[in-house]
Structures are given as structure tokens and as C-alpha cells.
Structure 1
């Protein structure tokens, strides 16, 4: 049985031959995933405190404002979901890749941890 593997869908005007290797590195080595239509990338970052998660969001928001390129983010008790895509022209762009890398760097600064090691909602030990 064949599986439907999502392929990256780059925005009009982007050089797929140039962005393809960067995208593959992001997906294979950095833990990002393509969204369901292949037009964006997503990743969940985990933190040991809610404050660190919110600080991470603020770090992304600051750079997003400077670059005029903004993600969709969902903050949970011990994690942050980040989704990058370009709306005009629609599809993946160099901006998405660069900002995903900024997220990875910022997560390291904010003390991101592996899945399962983040803060969990509920009573303590």
C-alpha cells in the first residue's frame, strides 16, 4: 500500500533547487515537519516552566516583528507549537526556513527540553 508523502510546496518565485537542501536539513536534522498541505513547517518545543515557554514566544515575536514575518503559535502549559508559512506568495519561502532556524536557536537559549521532559499540568510529586 502506498503512503501519501507530503512534499514541500515552495512559493512562486522561490528557487526550489536552492531551498530544497535547506528544507531537507530542517526536516531531517532539526525535527521540523511539513504541515498537511506542504506549504508550511511545524514543530513543538518543550520547556520546564510556563515562564520559559512564554519567554520563548516573546523571543520569536520580537524577531518576527523585525522581519515582518509572523508564525502561528500555540502556548500550552509546558510547550509551544510553532507553524511557519508564507501567505503571499503562498507556500514555503526562505523566510520560513530562516525563522525556523531562529526558533531552534532561541529554544536553546530558553532551555528547551525533549518531549516528555517538559512541565506537565497537574499536582506535583
Structure 2
């Protein structure tokens, strides 16, 4: 099966010349385009469930202030974050800015490398 590179799909009215390089920078920092290229996703890892939930609350506070909300999945030692814009549909500057906020917040909350987060069991 041939693999292909997903290209970003920017929302109508967005400046692709500006967002293209910003999106590439995010990808170099561990973010990935979702399968349709209309959003970005990343998993953050933490040593405790409390830190993972605190990270979610940090994102929730900023997303409420900006009126732009992600889809998040919380596990015992990790949080999946997905940013996309629904109106107009596609990747926007808001998604890029909030992804950067997540990276900054993860550093403050003590995020760890993949494989070093808390796992279930003894």
C-alpha cells in the first residue's frame, strides 16, 4: 500500500503563505495533521493522572477565554489534544495559536517524553 503525505487544508480566508510555515514548525515539534489535514493533533505524557488533568484544565481555561475548544482524551498518564476550526471548516491561525499554548502549558505542567508517562498497574 502506498503512503502519502497529508497536506494542510486551511479554512477559507486564512493566509496559507503564513500558516504553511507555522504548520510545518508545529509538525517539527511533534504535532501531526489529522487524516483530512483540517486540524492538528498531539499526545502529551505526564507522570501522574493529576498532572494530566491539570493540563486539561489549563487548556480549558485558555480555550474558554478564546472561545475555541479542542477535542481532548484523557488517559491515566497522557492527554490527546486535537485542534480544528469548524466555521469556516479547516485549519486556522486559532488552531496554531492554541497548539502553541498547549506546548507551553505542557512544559509548565511537567510533561515527559513518550513512554515515560504513568501507566496502569503495579
Q: Same fold (TM over 0.5)?
A: yes
Query: What is the deviation of 1:3?
Result: 2.4
> 1:2 Cα shift?
4.6
User: 1:13 maps to which residue?
Assistant: 13
CA RMSD of aligned residues (A): 0.9
Output the TM-score relative to the length of structure 1. Answer: 0.95
Q: Which runs of 5+ in 2 are unaligned?
A: none
Partner of 1:65: 64
Aligned residues: 122
- Could you tell me which residue of structure 1 aligns to residue 48 of structure 2? 49
* Structure 1 partner of 2:84: 85
1:31 aligns with 2:25: no
Which runs of 5 or more residues in structure 1 are unaligned?
none
Instruction: Report the alpha carbon displacement of residue 62 of structure 1 after superposing the two structures with TM.
Output: 0.0
Rounded to whole Å, the distance in 2 between the matches of 1:21 and 1:76 is 31
> 2:15 & 2:113 partners in 1: Cα distance?
33
CA distance in 2, matches of 1:8, 1:37: 8
Alpha-carbon deviations, 1:43-72, whole Å to 9, x = none?
Answer: 000000000000000000000000000000
Please list the CA deviations of residues 15-38 of structure 1 after superposition, one character each: whole Å capped at 9, or x if unmatched.
Answer: 10111111100112x100000000
- Structure 1 runs of 4+ aligned residues shifted over 6 Å read none
In 2, distance between residues paired with 1:43 and 1:60?
13
